[in-house]
Chains A and B, each alone.
Chain A
Amino acid sequence: MEKIPILRMGRFLLVTIQVDMHDQLAMQLQNDLTDRIVADRAHGVLIYISSLEVVDSFIGRMISNIAAMARVLDAETVVVGMQPAVAITLVELGLSLEGVRTALNVDKGMALLREQVAAAGRT
């Protein structure tokens, strides 16, 4: 079965979505990620979605939900590398992912996460 890998990098978790998301996969990711945040006591999650070409309202809401769940578990989420077409689609669907932080590339995303974690007074 397909699975989206979750990589650990220090206190951060890296999720790179390299395949087209379908609903089942998104649910699986949601489960795995929350498990890992708790297990690894992660402070931040970086979701890299540059290969994601197709989104629908469900996937859009999943991203938003994952960020909200991570926040409940005290981890910051940054979504990185969104394609223009995906951004336009999400906006047209009325999902502007309020409360989800975004960055252009992994470098900037990691910098943003460190900044966030530092601001929260954790190392």
Chain B
Amino acid sequence: MSSAISALDRVLSNEQDILREWVRLQLSAVTVHSDLMRETELREQSREFLSLFRAALLKGVGYNTSGDDWAPVRDFLGNVSRSRAIQGFTPSETATFVFSLKQPLFAQLRRELANDAEALGEATWTTTVVLDKLGLYTTEVFMKSREEVIMRQQHELLELSTPVVQLWEGVLALPLIGTLDSARTQVVMESLLQAIVRTGAGLAIIDITGVPTVDTLVAQHLLKTVAAARLMGADCIISGIRPQIAQTIVHLGVDLSEVSTKATLADAFTLALRKIGASVAQPKAKD
């Protein structure tokens, strides 16, 4: 064991001192979030990281932080990073958790190796390399967990925004909200066709009041959905066409002549009732 490593070990074995100094620094830093995290939690995390860090440093040959020796440290940092991502920390605040260890560690090293400049330099360099790698690792995990959150939300949004409701025996309505892209159209189409099979409905009203813009692609998607429903034996009515959208559709040269279109869902529902031979009457007002 080189003198630098043994010095590092001596410094790290004096856990209490470093921990006290490190936590003090973290708490006084501008990036501290006492609203997001309690001091005891921070102290606990710092303590655990220090002990894992020390254990890995003694075992770790070549300071390859992606090796097996560092697995416990990586796991721990991954958990810290994920929990902080959920708590609302920024990536730099999360990475600072690791980087901020440098200051107290180097101070102790300087004291320990005051007479050995070469060993001090080596110890400092080693620690810097390792801590930098670990800091970047937390950022990576942070990003990954944020992306997972976004993916999940996207998925939930997709599910939420495509309900198929039954308006009447044999009449379904599909109120579309938000921009239609290929992925969403696929979900919309599938849920509509499944509902047609399930309910045996012969008519489906696709309401596009909530679709902000209709371009050729969206129109094509709509027509595909209508064609697929027709293949299964159900007719479609498109409703909720706003004046601007009617203009756009004509300007784009989209041919909707094969499909019944109505301005409002109410009109479409009236048409649907007429097609299935049902009617709704208003009870006569009592005198």
Given known A87-B193, A88-B193, A105-B200, contact A82–B224 (CB-CB < 8 A): no
The answer to whether A102 touches B232, judged by C-beta atoms less than 8 angstroms apart, is yes
Kindly list chain B residues whose C-beta atoms are within 8 Å of the C-beta of A108: 202, 233
Contact with A along B212-256 (1 / 0, CB 8 A): 000000000000100111111110000000000000000000000
The answer to whether A84 touches B193, judged by C-beta atoms less than 8 angstroms apart, is yes
Kindly list chain A residues whose C-beta atoms are within 8 Å of the C-beta of B201: 104
The answer to whether A102 touches B190, judged by C-beta atoms less than 8 angstroms apart, is no
Contact with B along A76-109 (1 / 0, CB 8 A): 0001111110111011100011000011110011
Interface size on A, residues (CB 8 A): 20
The answer to whether B202 touches A87, judged by C-beta atoms less than 8 angstroms apart, is no
B 178-222 contacts with A by CB, 8 A: 186, 189-190, 193-194, 196-197, 200-202
Q: B200's closest neighbor in chain A, by CB? A: A104
The answer to whether B233 touches A103, judged by C-beta atoms less than 8 angstroms apart, is yes
Contact of A88 among B189, B197, B200 (CB under 8 A): B189
The answer to whether A104 touches B190, judged by C-beta atoms less than 8 angstroms apart, is no
Given known A91-B224, A91-B227, contact A84–B233 (CB-CB < 8 A): no
Q: B235's closest neighbor in chain A, by CB? A: A102
Kindly list chain A residues whose C-beta atoms are within 8 Å of the C-beta of B200: 104-105
Cα–Cα, bound, A81→B228 (Å): 12
Whole-angstrom distance from the CB of B66 to the nearest CB of chain A? 43
Contact of A82 among B189, B194, B202, B233 (CB under 8 A): B233
Given known A87-B193, A88-B190, A92-B224, contact A104–B232 (CB-CB < 8 A): yes
A interface secondary structure, majority: mixed
Question: Number of contact residues on B: which range applies?
Answer: 10 to 19
Kindly list chain B residues whose C-beta atoms are within 8 Å of the C-beta of A105: 200, 233
Cα–Cα, bound, A103→B234 (Å): 7
Cα–Cα, bound, A88→B234 (Å): 14
Given known A88-B189, A108-B202, contact A102–B230 (CB-CB < 8 A): yes
Contact with A along B117-155 (1 / 0, CB 8 A): 000000000000000000000000000000000000000
Whole-angstrom distance from the CB of A75 to the nearest CB of chain B? 19
Whole-angstrom distance from the CB of B172 to the nearest CB of chain A? 12
Whole-angstrom distance from the CB of B101 to the nearest CB of chain A? 56
Whole-angstrom distance from the CB of B162 to the nearest CB of chain A? 14
Given known A104-B200, A104-B202, A108-B202, contact A84–B230 (CB-CB < 8 A): no
Kindly list chain A residues whose C-beta atoms are within 8 Å of the C-beta of B230: 96, 102
The answer to whether B227 touches A82, judged by C-beta atoms less than 8 angstroms apart, is no
Cα–Cα, bound, A88→B231 (Å): 9
Q: B202's closest neighbor in chain A, by CB? A: A104
Cα–Cα, bound, A102→B193 (Å): 14
The answer to whether A84 touches B232, judged by C-beta atoms less than 8 angstroms apart, is yes
Whole-angstrom distance from the CB of B228 to the nearest CB of chain A? 4
Kindly list chain B residues whose C-beta atoms are within 8 Å of the C-beta of A83: 197
Kindly list chain A residues whose C-beta atoms are within 8 Å of the C-beta of B193: 84, 87-88
Whole-angstrom distance from the CB of A43 to the nearest CB of chain B? 20
Q: Return 20 A-B CB contacts under 8 Å, by A number.
A: A79-B231, A82-B232, A82-B233, A84-B194, A84-B197, A87-B193, A87-B229, A87-B231, A87-B232, A88-B189, A90-B231, A91-B227, A92-B224, A102-B230, A102-B231, A102-B233, A103-B233, A104-B200, A104-B201, A104-B202
Binding site for B on A (CB under 8 A): 79-84, 86-88, 90-92, 96-97, 102-105, 108-109
Given contacts A84-B228, A102-B230, A104-B232, 16 further A-B contacts (CB under 8 A): A79-B233, A82-B233, A84-B232, A86-B231, A87-B231, A88-B193, A90-B228, A90-B231, A92-B224, A104-B196, A104-B197, A104-B202, A104-B234, A105-B200, A108-B233, A109-B233
